């Protein structure tokens, strides 16, 4: 049940115990979502580490600047290390991230004094994207811009072009479906507008194929199909740290009650949008096939773009490592409902053991499921993708 026909898959080379980290992976390229950044979810422009302290994060999500968090020493944000690009003032969590961005793509993408100039080609491109792709976001045109900028800056351009070409590609019809899913019914005209703006901002003769209508659609579909959601949050980091504190029982109960109430209040104020969010391309993770009974899951416990794949079960040497592209609620639905979501979002039908065992079940969803059928939108898919 691969989204990548032609048989990619990831297999264990040794026995892996439940709870073990299978691997930690850095993306070849990543980018924060544009609306997320516009709404002041402040993140490192390179690794997406949250830049607000846990207290500032909670105050903003609550709309309440007087909130004080207990145990402030459990917040991991180091503001003394933050740095800005001296030319365009985008913020990084550290000198290392500023340097890494500069070496990989930022020389090409730095807006310098034009950061707030609406007529700058890169700003026109971002504005057009925001007007086509509203929250809940699942992708960003800037992921594609960083791919182009990376190749433009690279000494060994072929190495990078090859690196990007290992992400699975689709047929022309499937590419159209992905674009339709991301941009909606007027996708053909919108895709062409994006291509023209993309070309004006970034054209490069080494990559001329990426700027043709077919090549641009392929690039777009590659990012739409392989982009892995990334979520970071200084508040959730603080909560995890508080959970690990060794406290007397009464204090523990008080702290747990405080945190539970805090999340309820935040949900009333900000809904489900708690994290700094973006997406990235991960070579190993993109090889993992889907199963409705996964033996591994992805998360971002370091509060940045480093993806951790963790075993949910014992995995034997030679066994395939599978993740789920569905969230917990979606996985409990009928085979018909699960496959409807997978076909719409990932263009394949699942044949994992659970789906095969339910193959004779009626192809209709239960009544309650029919009711909820319309609710399986990108937001639900995103929830699973960006758990931190």
pLDDT digit string (tens) for 187-243? 889 999 999 999 999 999 989 999 999 999 999 999 988 999 999 999 999 999 999
Cα–Cα distance, 5 to 73 (Å, whole number): 49
Cα–Cα distances in Å, from 104 out to 3, 42, 146, 147, 161?
29, 21, 9, 9, 14
Residue 260 clears pLDDT 90, i.e. is over it: yes
For the ranges 59-73, 246-260, 281-295, 374-388, the lowest mean pLDDT is seen at 374-388
Tell me what pLDDT residue 178 has. Answer: 83
pLDDT computed for residue 350 by the predictor: 84
pLDDT score at 272: 81
What is the predicted pLDDT for the residue at 364? Answer: 56
Q: pLDDT at residue 105 above 60?
A: yes
Mean pLDDT of the chain: 88
Whole-number pLDDT of residue 255:
96
- Contact between 278 and 140 under an 8 Å Cβ cutoff? The reply is yes
**Any idea what DSSP says for residue 312?**
S
Over residues 11-23, the mean pLDDT reads 96
Instruction: Return the percentage of the chain with pLDDT > 90, whole number.
Output: 67
**Percent of the chain clearing pLDDT 70 (strictly above):** 91
**H or E element that contains 30:** strand 29-32
Average pLDDT over residues 14-37: 96
Average pLDDT for residues 46-62, to the nearest whole number? 96
At residue 122, does pLDDT exceed 70? Answer: yes
Integer Cα distance of 305 and 313 in angstroms: 24
What pLDDT is attached to residue 340? 83
Each residue's pLDDT tens digit, 310-334: 999 999 999 999 998 877 777 778 8
350-367 tens-digit pLDDT: 888 888 888 877 665 544
Domains, the chain, with CATH or none? 10-27+282-358 (2.170.270.10), 29-229 (no CATH)
Q: Rounded to 5 degrees, what angle do the CA atoms 288, 294, 296 make?
A: 65
CB 65 within 8 A of CB 76: no
Q: What is the pLDDT of residue 366?
A: 46
Of the two residues 30 and 352, the one the predictor is more confident about is 30
The pLDDT tens digits of the residues spanning 369-383 come to: 444 444 444 444 444
3-state DSSP assignment of residue 49: coil
Helix/strand/coil percentages in the chain, nearest 5: 50, 10, 40
Confidence category of residue 7, pLDDT binned at 50, 70, 90: low
Which DSSP helix (H) or strand (E) runs through 150? helix 141-153
Rounded Cα distance between 82 and 50, Å, is 11
The C-alpha atoms of residue 167 and residue 146 are separated, in whole angstroms, by 16
The confidence score (pLDDT) of residue 370 equals 47
Query: Following DSSP, what letter does each residue of 243-304 receive, concatenated?
Result: HT----HHHHHHHHHHHHHHHHHHHHHHTT--SEEEEEE-TTGGGPEE-SS-SEEEE-TTSS
């Amino acid at each position: 049940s691969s989204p990548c026909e032609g048989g990619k898959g990831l297999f264990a080379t040794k026995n892996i115990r439940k709870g073990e980290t299978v691997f930690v992976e850095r993306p070849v390229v990543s980018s924060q979502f544009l609306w997320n950044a516009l709404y002041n979810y402040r993140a490192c422009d390179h690794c997406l580490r949250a830049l607000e302290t846990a207290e500032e994060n909670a105050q903003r999500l609550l709309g309440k600047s007087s909130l004080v968090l207990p145990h402030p020493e459990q917040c991991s944000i180091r503001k003394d290390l933050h740095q800005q690009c001296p030319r365009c003032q985008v913020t990084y969590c550290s000198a290392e991230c500023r340097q890494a961005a500069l070496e990989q793509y930022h020389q090409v993408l730095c807006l310098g004094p034009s950061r707030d100039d609406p007529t700058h080609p890169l700003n026109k491109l971002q504005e057009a994207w925001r007007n086509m792709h509203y929250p809940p976001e699942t992708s960003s045109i800037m992921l594609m811009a960083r791919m182009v900028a990376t190749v433009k800056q690279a000494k060994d351009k072929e190495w990078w072009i090859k690196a990007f070409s290992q992400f699975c590609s689709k047929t022309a019809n499937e590419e159209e479906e992905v674009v339709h899913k991301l941009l909606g019914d007027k996708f053909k005209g919108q895709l062409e507008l994006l291509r023209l703006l993309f070309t004006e901002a970034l054209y490069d003769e080494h990559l001329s194929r990426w700027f043709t209508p077919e090549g641009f659609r392929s690039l777009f579909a590659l990012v739409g199909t392989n982009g892995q959601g990334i979520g970071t949050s200084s508040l959730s980091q603080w909560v995890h740290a508080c959970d690990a504190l060794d406290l007397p029982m009464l204090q523990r109960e008080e702290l747990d009650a405080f945190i539970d109430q805090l999340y309820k209040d935040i949900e009333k104020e900000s809904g489900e949008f708690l994290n700094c969010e973006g997406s990235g391309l991960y070579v190993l993770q993109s090889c993992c096939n889907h199963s409705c009974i996964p033996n591994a899951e992805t998360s971002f416990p370091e509060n940045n773009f480093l993806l951790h794949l963790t075993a949910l079960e014992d995995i034997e040497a030679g066994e395939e490592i599978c993740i789920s592209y569905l969230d917990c609620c979606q996985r409990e639905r009928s085979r018909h409902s699960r496959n409807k979501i997978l076909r719409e979002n990932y263009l394949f039908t699942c044949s994992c053991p659970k789906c095969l065992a339910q193959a004779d079940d009626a192809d209709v969803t239960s009544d309650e499921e029919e009711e909820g059928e319309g609710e399986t939108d990108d937001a639900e898919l995103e929830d699973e993708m960006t758990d931190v």
